[in-house]
Amino acid sequence: MFKIRIHSAVDVITNSSTVIYTYMDGCVQPVKDLINEMGRTLGFTETAEDMFYIGVFCDNDRYADVLDNMSEDDELPEGFENFQDMDWKESAALIEEKLSDALRGKCDLPDWMEKASKDDGWGEPTSSTTLYLKAKDPKYKKIGDLIIKLINSTEEEATRDG
CA neighbor of 95 nearest in space, from 69, 118, 64, 68? 64
The answer for residues whose C-beta is within 8 angstroms of residue 114's C-beta and 6 or more apart is none
pLDDT at residue number 154: 63
Q: Is the pTM of this model over 0.85?
A: no
What is the Cα–Cα distance from 98 to 108, expressed in whole angstroms? 9
Q: What is the mean pLDDT of the chain?
A: 79
pLDDT at residue number 36: 94
Q: Is the pLDDT score of 10 beyond 90?
A: no
For 30, 37, 68, 79, 127, the CA distances from 88, given in Å and listed in that order, are 33, 40, 11, 16, 18
What is the Cα–Cα distance from 27 to 133, expressed in whole angstroms? 11
Q: 64 versus 138: which is more confidently predicted?
A: 138
pLDDT in tens, 35-82: 999 899 999 899 999 999 998 888 888 888 888 887 667 777 888 888
Angle 34-131-37 (CA atoms, 0-180°, nearest 5)? 5
* DSSP code string of 45-106: ---HHHHEEEEEEE-HHHHHHHHHT--TTSPPPTT-TTGGGS-HHHHHHHHHHHHHHHHTTS
Q: What mean pLDDT do residues 81-99 have?
A: 88
CA neighbor of 144 nearest in space, from 37, 53, 45? 53
Q: 10 versus 84: which is more confidently predicted?
A: 84
Lowest-pLDDT choice from 20-24, 40-44, 114-118, 139-143: 20-24
Q: Is the pLDDT score of 162 beyond 80?
A: no
Q: What mean pLDDT do residues 25-34 have?
A: 85
Give yes or no for a contact between 16 and 145, defined as CB atoms under 8 angstroms apart. Answer: no
Q: Is the pLDDT score of 153 beyond 90?
A: no
Q: What mean pLDDT do residues 124-153 have?
A: 81
pLDDT at residue number 50: 95
